[in-house]
């Protein structure tokens, strides 16, 4: 069955969207703000926090970037109005960074003013390595406007520990993730063992540092190692949280963490650009194929 799952997942990018939609549903919280609001409220009722991402990256022109800004501003206001326990996550290329840095900075400055006014936190998602330094620069400047801004570093990059050391402060809100982009071997770790080792090193440094740690991984071995470190070093639970992607099948572990009193935040993506994101998630977890097929045949 695993070979069949993997084979179907590999050819799924060539399927029409209507065929992929049932397989995407576990990972994507709908295509509009009404649908994602229901998911956020459900997660909050279960005791989870959330961070919401409007799917998409590069835009072609300033007009598209402005449209994305309006969508995120509406999302922030909805979170505040509905009193949901949620932040937002945004890619700066979605706000124009791939066109010109000034465009992204202008749009992001407007967005953080909306976040500040509504007291909704904003995390700048990390992207591929050509944008790393510019993203971190914009992040540091944004803290002068709103201290509710956070960002991300990726454990597979060699530079990440030095970046963390430079960022560490009482204002730091930092998500550590493994990284999803294909990066060259001269700047990044290539093996899972090395990436996990660096993830754990980064996590320990951040947990012992001045900032707030957001530990984003579905790797149970890593989660257990972090738990051991937290308990051994008596790290206060208010200094960190665990994060996981919506739909990734580790619900039992997330419930366990939540029941132990740890904060757990679910990364919730939504929007009309769901196809490419879903394909990536399905390739990472081909078992979802047989799960969906079984349910479809039951129906």
Using CA atoms, how far residue 277 sits from 24, 83, 228, 271, 272, in Å, is 9, 28, 33, 10, 11
**Distance from the Cα of residue 47 to its chain's centroid:** 19
**Distance from the Cα of residue 90 to its chain's centroid:** 9
289 with 8: CB under 8 angstroms?
yes
DSSP string, 89-115: EE-GGGGTTTT-HHHHHHHHHHHHHHH
> Cα(30)–Cα(40) distance, rounded to whole angstroms?
11
Report the length, in residues, of the chain: 299
Residues with a catalytic annotation lie at: 125, 175
DSSP-assigned letter for residue 157: B
> Cα(254)–Cα(45) distance, rounded to whole angstroms?
15
Using CA atoms, how far residue 107 sits from 40, 64, 74, 269, in Å, is 25, 11, 14, 20
């Amino acid at each position: 069955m695993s070979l069949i799952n993997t084979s179907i997942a590999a050819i799924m990018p060539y399927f029409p969207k209507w065929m992929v939609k049932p397989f995407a549903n576990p990972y994507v919280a709908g295509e509009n703000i009404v649908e994602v609001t229901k998911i956020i409220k459900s997660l909050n009722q279960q005791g989870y926090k959330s961070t919401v991402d409007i799917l998409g990256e590069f835009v072609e022109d300033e007009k598209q970037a402005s449209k994305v800004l309006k969508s995120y501003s509406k999302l922030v206001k909805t979170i505040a109005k509905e009193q949901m326990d949620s932040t937002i996550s945004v890619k700066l290329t979605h706000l124009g960074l791939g066109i010109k840095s000034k465009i992204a900075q202008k749009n992001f400055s407007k967005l953080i003013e909306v976040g500040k006014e509504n007291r909704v936190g904003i995390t700048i998602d990390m992207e591929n390595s050509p944008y790393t330094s510019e993203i971190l620069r914009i992040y540091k400047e944004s803290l002068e406007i709103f201290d509710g801004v956070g960002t991300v570093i990726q454990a597979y990059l060699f530079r990440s520990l030095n970046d963390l050391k430079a960022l560490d402060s009482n204002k730091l809100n930092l998500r550590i993730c493994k990284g999803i982009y294909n990066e060259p071997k001269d700047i990044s770790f290539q093996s899972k063992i090395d990436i996990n080792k660096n993830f754990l090193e980064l996590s320990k440094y951040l947990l012992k540092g001045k900032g707030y740690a957001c530990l984003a991984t579905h790797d149970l071995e890593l989660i257990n190692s972090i738990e051991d470190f937290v308990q051994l070093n008596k790290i206060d639970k208010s200094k960190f949280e665990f994060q996981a992607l919506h739909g990734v099948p580790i619900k039992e572990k997330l419930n366990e963490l939540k029941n132990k009193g740890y904060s757990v935040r679910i990364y919730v993506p939504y929007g009309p650009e769901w196809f490419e994101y879903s394909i990536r998630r399905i390739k990472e977890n081909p078992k979802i194929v047989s799960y969906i097929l079984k349910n479809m045949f039951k129906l």
